């Protein structure tokens, strides 16, 4: 999974040409560690529709403050430089994918 910081957040997330799911995390956060394999699986499964990145709240406080993140983990989905969905707390992969489905572009189905 890709890591971003205060220094490269704008270029790697806000200027991205596709949706980006950002997990605000911290090393001391148990639920954040639980989310790591879930996010890795989502990143692989949705690689055609979505980028997934992680930002450490302790080392990148400016971005945390800018988006009003108060709890870890917080997941924000950005599209066209704007946050379009916010989710707080750990969740299983199935639930996360269901919550993302309404804000992601529909899957392309092969022509028959």
Give catalytic residue positions: 29, 32
Closest CA to 34 of 96, 103, 108: 96
CA dihedral 69, 70, 71, 76 (to 10 degrees): -20
Residue 62: Cβ-neighbour burial (10 angstroms; 0-12, 13-18, 19+):
exposed
DSSP single-letter state for residue 35 = H
């Amino acid at each position: 999974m890709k890591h971003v910081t205060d220094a490269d957040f704008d270029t790697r997330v806000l200027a991205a040409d596709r949706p980006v799911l950002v997990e605000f995390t911290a090393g001391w956060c148990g639920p954040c560690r639980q989310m790591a394999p879930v996010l890795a699986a989502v990143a692989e499964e949705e690689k055609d529709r979505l980028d997934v990145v992680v930002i450490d709240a302790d080392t990148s406080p400016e971005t945390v403050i800018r988006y009003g993140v108060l709890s870890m983990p917080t997941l924000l989905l950005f599209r066209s430089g704007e946050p379009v969905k916010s989710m707080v707390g750990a969740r299983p992969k199935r639930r996360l994918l269901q919550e993302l489905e309404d804000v992601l572009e529909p899957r392309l189905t092969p022509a028959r």
